[in-house]
């Protein structure tokens, strides 16, 4: 049964793992805007707390004593990074989440929010992806280790709720984009990778860019501030045992995405397709009706507006001494 919780964010001590990262920094800003005092927000850094290490999570929870944990820390990347480092992606993501949740349980945390991924869905899930379809097949192979590691945290949370009454919820988030994203070619996801590729080709006067795959797969994208708002709402209001999708409900092909980004960045050259490289999952688009019904959540940032803001942020950062640091 899905019910609403009653967490008063403004009165809670909230631990946000990954809170200095792309999504995490926006979640922290959203919580501050919702009245959470700055001294009630705990943002650990990996240099001090490497959550992959068994004792780090215990030390973190013992020292900080949060009421709420929002777990965003993760090892992430695009298709290339997932394909090159599947063992690392599986082990580190699983260990970070599993150990943190166990320590949260032992320390009496009042709510644990586990932020998962659309990559957990089966490769051939009917569109739009419903939460009920999560177990109807194996994920797309190139990111299955990452997706399964994240899905294991859903199982852990459900098991802990059943045995211990532990209040854990699990969110399934689509591909994100926006300011402070990762634009490193070796680890970036599709939107920042394409923005960087188009901007550099424009500046260098190149007559074409090369894009992986054949352009036919579809993706759904959620602007990062919308995602942060959804996570804050779920932290405040959701207490269901079942996972919850967070997305925009918009589906776009990679081919159309490249054309839009090329136009917005001013790249006028040809787009060539490297069909020897993988496409990834054939289609991705979430059914967001559960989040709308329970949280009143709906993405409010138009896709083209979000792309413009992301491109502007990237181009402004390329001109600064700090380059692409958040």
- pLDDT, tens only, 96-145: 999 999 999 999 999 999 999 999 999 999 999 999 999 999 999 999 99
Question: Residue 226's pLDDT band (boundaries 50, 70, 90)?
Answer: very high
Instruction: Work out the pLDDT band at 1, boundaries 50, 70, 90.
Output: very low
Q: What's the CA gap between 69 and 15, in Å, rounded?
A: 5
Integer-rounded Cα Rg, in Å, for the chain is: 19
Cα torsion 130, 224, 176, 147: sign: negative
Catalytic residue among 91, 121, 138, 146: 146
CA distances (Å), origin 92, targets 57, 101, 131: 13, 14, 25
Mean pLDDT of 262-270: 98
**Dihedral sign for Cα atoms in the order 194, 255, 311, 116:** negative
Structure tokens at 310: 């992301």
Cis amide bond preceding 128, omega within 30: yes
Stretch 247-258: mean pLDDT: 97
Residues in the chain, total: 326
146 is catalytic: yes
* pLDDT at 3 exceeding the cut of 90: no
* The Cα angle at residue 306 between residues 313 and 180, in degrees rounded to 5: 35
Spatial distance between the Cα atoms of 156 and 101, rounded to a whole number of angstroms: 8
| pLDDT reported for residue 2 | 39
pLDDT at 194: 97
In tens, the pLDDT along 171-197 reads 999 999 999 999 999 899 999 999 999
The confidence score (pLDDT) of residue 86 equals: 96
Is the pTM here over 0.85, yes or no? yes
DSSP-assigned letter for residue 191:
H
Cβ neighbourhood burial of 150 (10 Å; 0-12, 13-18, 19+): buried
Spell out the alpha helix ranges (H) of the chain: 22-33, 54-64, 79-84, 86-106, 144-164, 190-204, 224-237, 254-265, 289-295, 303-318
Q: Which fold has domain 9-174+222-249+284-299?
A: Rossmann fold (3.40.50)
As to burial, measured by CB atoms within 10 angstroms (0-12 exposed, 13-18 middle, 19+ buried), residue 320 is exposed
Over residues 54-96, the pLDDT tens digits come to 899 999 999 999 999 999 999 999 888 999 999 999 999 999 9
Other C-beta atoms within 10 Å of 233: how many?
19
Task: Work out the pLDDT band at 5, boundaries 50, 70, 90.
Answer: low
**Region 158-165 average pLDDT:** 98
Tokens at 148, concatenated:
């399964």
Mean pLDDT of the chain: 95
- Provide the token pair at 197: 């590729």
Question: Does pLDDT of 325 surpass 70?
Answer: no
């Amino acid at each position: 049964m899905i019910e609403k919780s009653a967490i008063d964010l403004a009165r809670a001590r909230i631990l946000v793992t990954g809170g200095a990262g792309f999504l995490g920094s926006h979640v922290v800003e959203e919580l501050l805007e919702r009245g959470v005092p700055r001294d009630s927000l705990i943002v650990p850094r990996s240099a001090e707390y490497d959550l992959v290490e068994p004792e780090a999570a215990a030390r973190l929870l013992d020292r900080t004593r949060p009421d709420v944990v929002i777990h965003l820390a993760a090892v992430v990347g695009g298709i290339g990074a997932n394909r090159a480092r599947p063992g690392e992606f599986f082990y580190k993501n699983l260990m970070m989440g599993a150990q943190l949740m166990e320590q949260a349980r032992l320390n009496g945390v009042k709510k644990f929010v586990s932020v998962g991924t659309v990559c957990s869905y089966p490769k051939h899930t009917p569109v739009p992806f419903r939460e009920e379809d999560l177990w109807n097949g194996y994920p797309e192979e190139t990111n299955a280790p990452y997706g399964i590691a994240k899905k294991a945290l859903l199982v852990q949370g459900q098991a802990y709720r059943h045995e211990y009454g532990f209040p854990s919820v699990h969110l399934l988030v689509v591909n994100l984009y926006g300011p402070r994203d990762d634009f490193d070619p070796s680890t970036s996801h599709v939107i920042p990778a394409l923005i960087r590729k188009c901007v550099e080709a424009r500046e260098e006067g190149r007559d074409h860019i090369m894009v992986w795959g054949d352009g036919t797969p579809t993706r759904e994208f959620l602007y990062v501030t919308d995602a942060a708002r959804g996570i804050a709402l779920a932290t405040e209001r959701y207490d269901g045992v079942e996972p919850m999708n967070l997305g925009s409900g918009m589906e776009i092909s990679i081919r159309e995405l490249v054309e839009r980004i090329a136009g917005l960045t001013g790249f006028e050259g040809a787009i060539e397709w490297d069909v020897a490289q993988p496409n990834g999952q054939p289609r991705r688009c979430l059914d967001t009706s559960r989040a709308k019904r329970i949280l009143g959540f709906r993405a409010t940032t138009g896709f083209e507006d979000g792309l413009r803001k992301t491109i502007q942020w990237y181009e402004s950062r390329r001109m600064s001494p700090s380059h692409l640091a958040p």
